[in-house]
C-alpha cells in the first residue's frame, strides 16, 4: 500500500466560505499571490506507511513544531501551474502531467518521497472543483495552483526526514502585466551564481529562491527588474533568470536557449516554446550563449530578440541588459515580432482559443 496509487480524497467543505460579494470584490483586482481560495489539499506521509489521509479541507494555518526539519534544513519542493476558464465555460489546466513529473524529480533530488503522479493530478482536480468560483472570469486572469511538500518530522538530526506533508493552495491572479506586455530590464550579476554542477539548480525547491534574493535585490539597486545568472564554472554563459528561462531569436529566425545540463530549471513553458517554434518552422538550438555573444549579437543585429519565459508571466520580452561593465538593448528595446507571436500562440492554446496540436490542455470541468 506504500505510496498508494489512487488515494480517495476525503472532502471536508469549509463551513464558513467567503461570501459572494466579498469574493467578487477580491476577484476584481486579485494581483499576484495575495489572495487565496476557501480550501486546501493535505496529504501526509510517513516512512513505512506511505502517503495517507488525503483531504480537501478549509484553508487554515498549519500547526508546526519548532523542530520540524524543514525549518532547519529546508527540505522543501514546490510547483506552480494555472487553471483557466475555457470559452465554453469549462476549466482546464496546462500540461499538469509535466508538473507532476517534475515534482517527482525535485523530490528525488531533495531525498524526499515521490508523490504518485495520479495523486498529484487528482489533488489539483479536487481543489479546482471545490473552489471553481474563485477562477477569475477576465480574459487574462487564472487560478494559480501551488502544490508543495516539506519535511514535517520533528527532528534536528541531519538526514532525510521520515515524515512529510504535501499541500495544494490556490490563488486567483490577474493579468501579470496590468498595462499590457512590456519588456523587462535585466541585471547580469557579477557577484552571485544560482546553481553549480551537481547542485540543486534543476530542482524546484524553495532554497534556490532564498539563495537568489540578494541577487534580485542587487538587480533592483542597479535599476533593473530582474536578475540574470551566468554559469557558476566559467562565469561566461547565460543560465537563466531567478524564476524564468531565457531564449534568443537570431536574425534568420533561429531560436537559441541554454541547454539543460543540470544547473537550469527545466521549464514547462521553455519546453512548450521549443515545440511550438519548431512546429512554426523555426530552427531551435539548445546550446550555451555567452554574455559576450549576446552583447556583440545585439550590437550587430545578429540577435534580434530575447525573452524570458515561465508559468506566471508566460513570455516576457527582455529590453535592456545591464552588467558591471556594460549596458545594451536588444534591437530597439521593444517587444520583438517572434516573441509576440509565440506568446499569442501559447496563450491562445492555454485558453482554448486555438487548436491544441500537442494535447497540452487538460480539461477538469
Binding site for ligand PLP (CB under 6 A): 80, 204, 240, 243-245, 265, 267-270, 310-311
Q: Name the minimum Å distance from CB 253 to ligand PLP.
A: 22
Neighbours of 137 (CB within 10 A): 8
Q: How far is the CB of 311 from ligand PLP (least distance, A)?
A: 3
Q: Could you write out the DSSP letters of every residue in 199-214?
A: SSTTS--HHHHHHHHH
Name which of 96 and 116 has its Cβ closer to ligand PLP.
96
Specify whether the CB–CB gap between 12 and 56 falls below 8 A.
yes
Please, what is the minimum distance in Å from the beta carbon of residue 283 to ligand PLP? 22
Which of 17/267 has CB closer to ligand PLP? 267
Burial code (b: 16+ CB inside 10 Å, e: under 16) for 102-130 equals bbbbbbebbebbbbbbebbbbbbbbbbeb
CA–CA separation, 350 and 273 (whole Å)? 13
Q: How far is Cα 277 from Cα 356, in angstroms, rounded to an integer?
A: 14
Q: Are 141 and 35 in contact (CB under 8 A)?
A: no
Centre a 10 Å sphere on the Cβ of residue 352 and count the other Cβ atoms it contains.
18
Q: Which is nearer to ligand PLP, 56 or 244 (CB)?
A: 244
Q: Which is closer to ligand PLP, CB of 143 or CB of 244?
A: 244
Q: Which lies closer to ligand PLP via its Cβ, residue 155 or residue 176?
A: 176
Query: Smallest gap, in angstroms, from Cβ of residue 12 to ligand PLP?
Result: 30
The minimum distance between CB 101 and ligand PLP, in angstroms, equals 11
Q: Of 174 and 243, which CB lies nearer to ligand PLP in the complex structure?
A: 243
Shortest Cβ distance from residue 242 to ligand PLP (Å)? Answer: 6
Longest Cα separation, the chain: 63
Q: CB neighbours (10 Å) of residue 286?
A: 13
Query: Closest approach of Cβ 166 to ligand PLP, in Å?
Result: 18
Q: Name the CA dihedral angle for 159, 163, 165, 166, rounded to a multiple of 10 degrees.
A: 80
Nearer to ligand PLP, 56 or 188 (CB): 188
Amino acid at each position: 500500500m506504500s505510496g498508494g496509487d489512487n488515494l480517495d480524497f476525503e472532502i471536508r467543505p469549509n463551513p464558513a466560505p467567503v461570501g459572494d460579494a466579498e469574493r467578487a470584490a477580491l476577484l476584481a483586482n486579485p494581483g499576484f499571490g495575495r489572495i487565496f481560495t476557501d480550501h486546501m489539499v493535505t496529504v501526509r506521509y510517513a516512512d513505512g506507511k506511505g502517503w495517507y489521509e488525503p483531504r480537501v479541507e478549509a484553508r487554515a494555518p498549519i500547526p508546526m513544531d519548532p523542530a520540524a526539519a524543514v525549518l532547519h534544513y529546508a527540505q522543501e519542493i514546490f510547483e506552480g501551474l494555472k487553471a483557466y476558464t475555457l470559452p465554453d465555460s469549462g476549466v482546464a489546466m496546462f500540461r499538469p502531467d509535466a508538473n507532476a513529473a517534475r515534482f517527482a524529480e525535485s523530490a528525488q533530488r531533495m531525498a524526499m518521497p515521490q508523490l504518485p503522479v495520479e495523486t498529484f493530478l487528482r489533488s489539483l482536480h479536487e481543489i479546482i472543483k471545490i473552489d471553481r468560483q474563485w477562477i477569475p472570469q477576465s480574459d487574462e486572469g487564472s487560478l494559480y495552483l501551488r502544490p508543495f511538500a516539506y519535511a514535517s518530522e520533528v527532528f534536528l538530526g541531519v538526514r532525510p526526514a521520515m515524515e512529510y506533508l504535501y499541500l495544494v493552495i490556490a490563488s486567483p491572479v490577474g493579468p501579470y502585466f496590468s498595462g499590457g506586455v512590456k519588456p523587462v530590464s535585466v541585471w547580469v550579476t557579477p557577484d552571485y551564481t544560482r546553481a553549480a554542477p551537481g547542485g540543486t539548480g534543476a530542482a524546484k525547491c524553495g532554497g534556490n529562491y532564498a539563495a537568489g534574493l540578494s541577487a534580485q535585490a542587487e538587480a533592483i539597486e542597479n535599476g533593473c527588474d530582474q536578475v540574470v545568472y551566468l554559469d557558476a564554472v566559467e562565469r561566461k554563459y547565460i543560465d537563466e533568470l531567478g524564476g524564468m528561462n531565457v531564449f534568443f531569436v537570431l536574425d534568420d529566425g533561429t531560436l537559441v536557449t541554454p541547454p539543460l545540463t543540470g544547473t537550469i530549471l527545466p521549464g514547462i513553458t521553455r519546453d512548450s516554446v521549443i515545440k511550438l517554434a519548431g512546429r512554426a518552422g523555426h530552427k531551435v538550438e539548445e546550446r550555451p550563449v555567452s554574455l559576450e555573444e549576446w552583447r556583440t549579437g545585439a550590437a550587430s543585429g545578429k540577435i534580434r530578440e530575447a525573452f524570458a519565459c515561465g508559468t506566471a508571466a508566460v513570455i516576457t520580452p527582455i529590453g535592456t541588459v545591464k552588467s558591471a561593465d556594460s549596458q545594451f538593448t536588444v534591437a530597439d528595446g521593444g517587444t520583438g515580432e517572434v516573441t509576440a507571436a509565440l506568446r499569442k500562440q501559447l496563450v491562445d492554446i492555454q485558453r482554448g482559443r486555438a487548436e491544441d496540436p500537442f494535447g497540452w490542455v487538460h480539461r477538469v470541468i
